[in-house]
Structure 1
Amino acid sequence: MHDREEIFEALTKLGHEPSYYVLDGRNQTLVALAKCGADLIVNLTESYAGDDKMDKNIAAYLELIHIPYTGGGPHALLLAQDKSIAKKIFDFHKIKTPDFATSYKGRTDHSHDIEFPLIVKPVSEDGSIGIDNGSVVDSVKELMERIHYIHEEFDSPALIEEYIEGREIYASILGNDNPEVLPLIELDLSKLPKGTPRIAGQDVKFDHDTEAYKVTKSAPVEDLDEEIAKKLRDTALAAYRALKLRDYGRIDMRLNKKGEVYVIEANPNPWLSSQAEFAMAAKKAGYSYTDLIDKIIELARARSI
């Protein structure tokens, strides 16, 4: 079942009268959306007319026409989507993030002094798009080849950042004025085939038939001492606030063997499937799936009063 169907079912249980509105940029447009009569929109959009960089514009439009909606506003969606901007903001707020550079067709926009190994990915894609076993590079030759691949395949600047070996930890956050960091979730990458980088590429996250997908799983973290767990929670909360996320969001981090926490990226409006990490964290915190959707609705409504 898709997350939209699960959310529809939860809203019905809560006494609402939900309906679907699918924006396609052609037959169902923003103009028609303004006339849909909704009291509140659960914003699950990830793209508009096939362009996944336009989700921020939909949020901005909903604000212009004064229809309340769930999740990140245009600022949060813009700041989180451009990973280089997000990382500069993290640096400003003293939130540890891997050193990085950005490059686009021979032009370097920003560069720290970075050292191999490096991971190279599109600067603005989400959902692990553009990330696979070839993303981690150990030489100048591999780096140049991967940068060229990103430019040609995605017509996007390449984000080149130091690869942090460590545990992949997700912090789901719920709330606005006093946001709650839900129990931490780990994506266990330890069973990936020998010789492959420990990264959450597309095969790990979405390709159900791959060995990588079958041997990786997410689960609540149970073996962290409280000091490290607090550092993870505090770091995530700082990143959530720095990028102006609201209602709900997920911060992806790496924890290395020294106990250092690095923010990899921030995710406004993360996937709300009952099987996904956000709902998993909410369940561990005592929220049923219906409770979780109710809470997100409540948070969005409170902002519009």
Structure 2
Amino acid sequence: MRVLALYLKEFIEKRVNGRKQVVACMPGTDRSICKALQLKGHKVTKLAYTPGKSIKLDKKYDVIFNLCDGLEDDNEFVEFQVLKGVEKTGIPFTGNSLKTIKLCNDKRRIKQVLVKKGISTPNFQVFKSFEQKLRSDMHFPLIVKPVCADAAVGIYADSVVNNEKQLRQRIKRVLERHEQPAALVSEYIEGRDLIIPVMGKRKIKVLDPTELRYLRSFCKRPKILSYAAKWHKSKPIYKDSITLVKNADRRFSKNELRKVKSAAAAAYRAVGCSGYATVDARLDKQGNVFVIEVNPNCWIGPKSDTALSLKKNYCVDYPDMIDKIVKIAVRK
């Protein structure tokens, strides 16, 4: 197929003729995806999206591979611009719709949809001010997050709180330091931390969940994936948060695995996903599954949860995964 790979430029510092310069380039994950597409026989054209400009294309492409997930410049609203332009072309595109991306960018709205659909999610309250009263049905410990952020932005090792004083401090930090319209406060669920990849449009495939295990550094702190634990490779908490991929049938009972996959499928459909996503969930000691959030157009690099689960559990290699995403996009 004729594939247009639409991406956002990444700006990195490099030495050019002995001088440090900021150079624009294609992100590494995007290059991996383009290589995978070519290995599967697709004719790939690369196009860097310029924020603020409309996307003008002819109809010579069979599909647009949307690589603009907003992470390159930490501006998710660029992703909205891209999708608006992509949808106007009328060409099939990978990933999810603008409507779904906008919904899932707002954690408050995800929660509201999950509750409306009867999908179990931790009890929550939205705070527009750190002085707002805590509802009587909210029970400590609580976790405080930005209402509109992803990739663990705004989540710290001390984001789990045990009293009102800590709660007010964390809400204030989210509102002021991260310039958020509101803070999402949820009851903290002690349990197994799961990421469940899901793919498909009308017919969906829920993959075996990957599981985050927290080692020595987390002995005296809540087991959450903070921004530092997710991205700061030099820190002990990064090294002590490991991902288990294989042997889901050994890590879970049949009933647990069924409940986890069922909850992920329900959440995926509830928010209108139609390409690929991961669902974050917690499994407590009583076997209850709580959906935390849904991540449409999640990272799909070679070491992503989706790629690892497919390779380790289903013997599907990376080029085949990328090819599958293309086929989902063009499927009516």
- Structure 2 gaps of 5+ residues are 1-26
1:174 to 199, 206, 211: 199
Equivalent residues, number: 299
Equivalent pair of 1:183/1:285 in contact (CA under 8 Å): no
DSSP-derived class of the 1:98 partner: coil
**Equivalent residue for 1:286?**
315
Would you tell me which structure has more strand in proportion to its own residues? 2
Aligned positions of 1:143-292 closer than 5 A: 143-156=167-180, 157-220=182-245, 221=248, 222-283=250-311, 284-292=313-321
Q: Deviations over 1:180-224 (max 9, x none)?
A: 111111011244332121001112211111101112211223321
Q: Deviations over 1:77-96 (max 9, x none)?
A: 01111111111110111111
DSSP-derived class of the 1:21 partner: strand
Q: Deviations over 1:11-38 (max 9, x none)?
A: 111122223323242xxx532x323764
Q: Is the alpha carbon distance of 1:106 and 1:185 closer, same or farther for their aligned partners in structure 2, counting shifts above 3 Å?
A: closer
Provide the identity percentage: 30
Cα distance in 2 for partners of 1:198, 1:87 equals 21
DSSP-derived class of the 1:250 partner: strand
1:140 to 147, 151, 164: 164
Cα distance in 2 for partners of 1:81, 1:50 equals 13
Q: Is the alpha carbon distance of 1:129 and 1:39 closer, same or farther for their aligned partners in structure 2, counting shifts above 3 Å?
A: same
Cα distance in 1 for partners of 2:328, 2:190 equals 36
DSSP-derived class of the 2:290 partner: strand
1:130 aligns with 2:154: yes
Cα distance in 2 for partners of 1:240, 1:259 equals 21
Deviation at 1:108, TM superposition (A): 5.9
Cα distance in 2 for partners of 1:280, 1:17 equals 26
Q: Is the alpha carbon distance of 1:75 and 1:287 closer, same or farther for their aligned partners in structure 2, counting shifts above 3 Å?
A: same
Q: Is the alpha carbon distance of 1:115 and 1:211 closer, same or farther for their aligned partners in structure 2, counting shifts above 3 Å?
A: same
**Equivalent residue for 1:20?**
46
Q: Is the alpha carbon distance of 1:30 and 1:117 closer, same or farther for their aligned partners in structure 2, counting shifts above 3 Å?
A: same
Q: What amino acid maps onto 2:57 in structure 1?
A: K
Q: What amino acid maps onto 2:56 in structure 1?
A: A
- Say which is worse superposed, 37-46 or 162-171, in terms of deviation: 37-46
**Equivalent residue for 1:116?**
140
Aligned positions of 1:5-16 closer than 5 A: 5-16=31-42
**Equivalent residue for 1:41?**
64
TM-score normalised according to structure 1 size: 0.92
Equivalent pair of 1:133/1:196 in contact (CA under 8 Å): yes
Cα distance in 2 for partners of 1:51, 1:109 equals 31
Cα distance in 2 for partners of 1:80, 1:147 equals 21
DSSP-derived class of the 1:34 partner: coil
Q: CA RMSD for the aligned pairs?
A: 2.1
Deviation at 1:278, TM superposition (A): 1.1
Deviation at 1:144, TM superposition (A): 0.5
**Equivalent residue for 1:105?**
129
Cα distance in 2 for partners of 1:140, 1:272 equals 39
Equivalent pair of 2:282/2:289 in contact (CA under 8 Å): yes
DSSP-derived class of the 1:252 partner: strand
Q: Deviations over 1:61-106 (max 9, x none)?
A: 2112213210010111011111111111101111110111111136
Equivalent pair of 2:131/2:168 in contact (CA under 8 Å): no
Cα distance in 2 for partners of 1:129, 1:210 equals 17
Cα distance in 2 for partners of 1:263, 1:246 equals 18
Cα distance in 1 for partners of 2:295, 2:84 equals 18
